[in-house]
Amino acid sequence: MNLILSIESSCDDSSIALTAIDTYDLIFHQKISQETKHSAFGGVVPELASRLHAESLPLILEKTKPYLNSLKAIAVTSEPGLNVTLLEGVMMAKTLSYALNLPLIGVNHLKGHLYSLFLKQKEIFPLGVLLVSGGHTMLLEAQSFDKISIKTQSLDDSFGESFDKVAKMLSLGYPGGPIVESFAKKGNARFTLPIPLRSKKQFAFSFSGLKNAVRLEIEEEIQRNATLNEVFKEDLCKSFQESAIAHLMQKCKIFFEENARNSKRWKHFGVVGGASANLVLRERILEMCNFYGVELLLAPLEFCADNAAMIGRVAVESYKRKEFSAIDFLQTRPRITMF
Ligand code: KG4
Ligand code: ZN
């Protein structure tokens, strides 16, 4: 069996995977999440994350030892992400590549998220994509492995980040996405929060104004009652989630309309990134896909958030194209440009 070993350390998940080059089968995958370690700070502390990667990655690597002789390449997330955490994975990958005399493959993290749709299958192109993570909110059009264009992105915070910030303001812990979603499930959308860029025809995302509106509601409540009770939190989470998703849907609609006018350049639409685990978002996107006659592609829930399996899947394509990275050329600085 010919395998690629892939490493992911762009944020707060230490993960390593083994992917079969010929069949895309995921032979091994493990992830050690640091969420609880950062929870007290309401967000990821880069230096702490880096130190935890240095502890966790070797523990996972140890388990891949029986497969050492089957390895054909070493892949690693090279950008974008937190500098100090990316470095941990990149250093490990470079060491393995050098010591085992195997080619090195640097993988763009966002492309990895896109390929989480194709973990155990061939790619489907052309494809429209909504990428919603902690660092990015983007609409993409993918024609092929190396022809992926950004149609629009967020002007400020990302969708996932806005959930994290709302959770922090309500002292709910980190990461905010799943917690805010579970609070929203029990709440009523009784607060009138703005839907960002609603009146504008602007084809872009923005979440900072909505986050600010949430902050004002919290400040008013504290003035009124000196404390925030559970019902208040649930209702505010629900109102926030409704506005945030309505905003996503309004901009997706522009994207779908444009695609329909162009005799459906893409007939498949994927939603990827950590926040694509949001069930309400999944439901709304499915409705939109059904309306426009487009097939929805989703990653399995466990592979929405950061993981090395998606990095390995991209690396299989790079390997087949013989697209390798020079050992001293890997990017470790985040860049906005991609693919
Ligand atoms: O893709 P990911 O694991 O990391 C980045 O590449 O940034 O995404 C993590 C983000 C966090 O901001 C987290 O709060 C958000 O995804 N997230 C969610 C949900 N689950 C995770 N956001 C909204 N609803 C969720 N259920
Ligand atoms: Zn990610």
80 C-beta closer than 6 A to ligand 1: no
Based on the domain organization, do 160 and 286 belong to the same domain? yes
- CA–chain centroid gap for 160, Å, is 8
Res. 334: pLDDT tops 50: no
Residue 148, domain member (yes or no)? yes
Question: For the residues of 62-89, what is the DSSP string, one character each?
Answer: HHTGGGGGGEEEEEEEEESS-HHHHHHH
Q: How many Cβ atoms sit within 10 Å of the Cβ of residue 182?
A: 12
145 & 274 share domain: yes
Report pLDDT for 254: 96
290 alpha carbon to ligand 2 midpoint, in Å? 27
Neighbours of ion ligand 2 (CB under 5 A): 133, 306
- N- to C-terminal Cα separation, the chain: 29
Q: What is the DSSP letter of 274?
A: G
One domain for residues 132 and 256: yes
Residue 175 CB less than 6 A away from ligand 1: yes
CA of 83 to the centre of ligand 2 (A): 14
Task: Please indicate, yes or no, whether residues 170 and 279 belong to a single structural domain of this protein.
Answer: yes
pLDDT in the model for residue 40:
81
**Residues 58 and 142 grouped into a single domain:** no
Nearest CA-CA partner of 273 in 147, 175, 203: 175
Residues 277, 317, single domain; the answer is no
- CA–centroid distance, 305 to ligand 2, in Å, is 6
Please say whether the dihedral angle defined by the alpha carbons of residues 232, 235, 239 and 245, taken in this order, is positive or negative: positive
Q: Are 109 and 79 in contact (CB under 8 A)?
A: yes
- Which atom of ligand 1 is found nearest the CA of 278? 26
User: Of the candidates 121, 145, 169, 155, which has an alpha carbon nearest to the alpha carbon of residue 299?
Assistant: 121
Decide: 75 and 108 in contact? Cβ < 8 Å. Answer: no
Cβ partners under 8 Å of residue 124, min gap 6: 117, 118, 268, 297
Q: If we measure between CA atoms, which residue out of 292, 300, 248, 299 comes closest to residue 267?
A: 292
Is 337 inside any structural domain? no
Q: For residue 133, is it within any domain?
A: yes
Domain membership flag for residue 41 = yes
Pair 82, 191 in one domain: no
Dist. CA 273 → ligand 1 center (Å): 7
- Is residue 338 domain-resident? no
Across-strand partners of 145? none
296-332 tens-digit pLDDT: 999 999 999 999 999 999 999 999 999 999 887 655 5
CA 135 – ligand 2 centroid, Å: 7
Structural element, H or E, at residue 318? helix 308-320
Locate 249 and state its tokens.
């849907």
On whether the CB atoms of residues 166 and 240 are closer than 8 A, the answer is yes
Determine what percent of the chain is predicted with pLDDT higher than 90: 88
Give the mean pLDDT of the chain. Answer: 94
- Length of the chain as a residue count: 339
Q: Give yes or no for a contact between 23 and 30, defined as CB atoms under 8 angstroms apart.
A: no
Ligand 1 in reach of 305 Cβ (< 6 A)? yes
- The reported pLDDT for the residue numbered 329 is 64
User: Ligand 1 in contact with 42 (CB < 6 A)?
Assistant: no
Q: Are residues 183 and 325 in the same domain?
A: no
Q: Which ligand is nearest to the CA of 207?
A: 1
Choose the weakest-confidence range: 75-79, 189-193, 195-199. Answer: 195-199
| Atom 1, ligand 1: residue with shortest CA distance | 274
Host domain of residue 319: 3-119+305-332
Per-residue model confidence (pLDDT) at position 335: 47
Per-residue pLDDT at 2 exceeds 60 = yes
141, 265 Cβ separation under 8 angstroms: yes
Q: Is the CB of 312 under 6 A from ligand 1?
A: no
Grade residue 89 by pLDDT with cuts at 50, 70 and 90: very high
**DSSP letter string over 216-266?**
HHHHHHHHHHSS--HHHHHHHHHHHHHHHHHHHHHHHHHHHHHHHHTT-S-
> Tell me: the pLDDT tens digits for 165-182?
999 999 999 899 999 999
CA-angle at 145, arms to 139 and 151, nearest 5° = 20
Contact indicator for 71, 1 with CB cutoff of 8 Å = no
Q: How many domains does the chain have?
A: 2
- If one residue of 133, 161, 205, 210 were mutated to test the ligand 1 pocket, choosing by the most ligand atoms within 8 A of its CB, it would be 133
Of all residues in the chain, the percent with pLDDT exceeding 70 is 97
Asked if residue 242 has pLDDT above 60, the reply is yes
The sheet with strand 147-153 has its strands ordered as 147-153, 137-144, 127-132, 268-272, 295-298
CA 167 to ligand 1: nearest atom: 14
223 and 266: one domain?
yes
Per-residue model confidence as pLDDT tens digits over 94-123: 999 999 999 999 999 999 999 999 998 999
Confidence of residue 336 (pLDDT cuts 50, 70, 90): very low
Task: State yes or no: pLDDT of 337 exceeds 50.
Answer: no
Q: How much is the pLDDT for 116?
A: 98
In whole angstroms, what separates CA 83 from the centre of its chain?
17
Is the shortest distance between the CB of 178 and ligand 1 below 6 Å? Answer: yes
Higher pLDDT, 214 or 337: 214
Question: Within 13 Å, how many C-alpha atoms sit on residue 46's CB side?
Answer: 8
The per-residue pLDDT for 199 is 77
